[in-house]
Amino acid sequence: MKKLSKVVLATALALSSTVALAGGDAAAGKAKFAMCQGCHGANGVSPNPALNPTLAGKDAAFVKEQLHAFKSGKRDNATMKAMTAGLSDADIENLAAFIATLKP
């Protein structure tokens, strides 16, 4: 019974990570992430976390929420407002999917 529980748990975790990425195209997000690297680091680990947060380890839902907040002006940051201004909803989905794959 214990072994079956582990298999069920492993399957559930695998499916949940697939669902988290299903909202966007991580490969397309990786291409868009090039504009983020200068401040947030090539692998999402910020070279200066006091100024720019590390993105690696953040889940897709959190990233999408923050990008939409910057784009709408709900979060006030001139640099991020400018960086998100040209992003479509699909771009945000794709970026979030890619960032969710980055490990801290």
- Cβ atoms of 29 and 16 within 8 Å: the answer is no
* Residue 52 maps to a domain: yes
CATH number assigned to the domain comprising residue 16: 1.10.760.10
Please report the sign of the dihedral spanned by the C-alpha atoms of residue 48, residue 81, residue 70, residue 24.
Answer: negative
Tens-digit pLDDT profile for residues 44-95? 999 999 999 999 999 999 999 999 999 999 999 999 999 999 999 999 999 9
pLDDT band, residue 25 (cuts 50/70/90): very high
User: Which residues, other chains included, contact 80 with Cβ-Cβ below 8 Å and sequence gap of 6+?
Assistant: 70
Q: How many domains does the chain have?
A: 1
* Residue 104 maps to a domain: no
How far apart are the C-alpha atoms of 54 and 40, rounded to whole Å?
6
**Amino acid letter at 9?**
L
pTM, whole model, 2 decimals? 0.77
CA angle 81, 82, 84 (to 5 degrees): 65
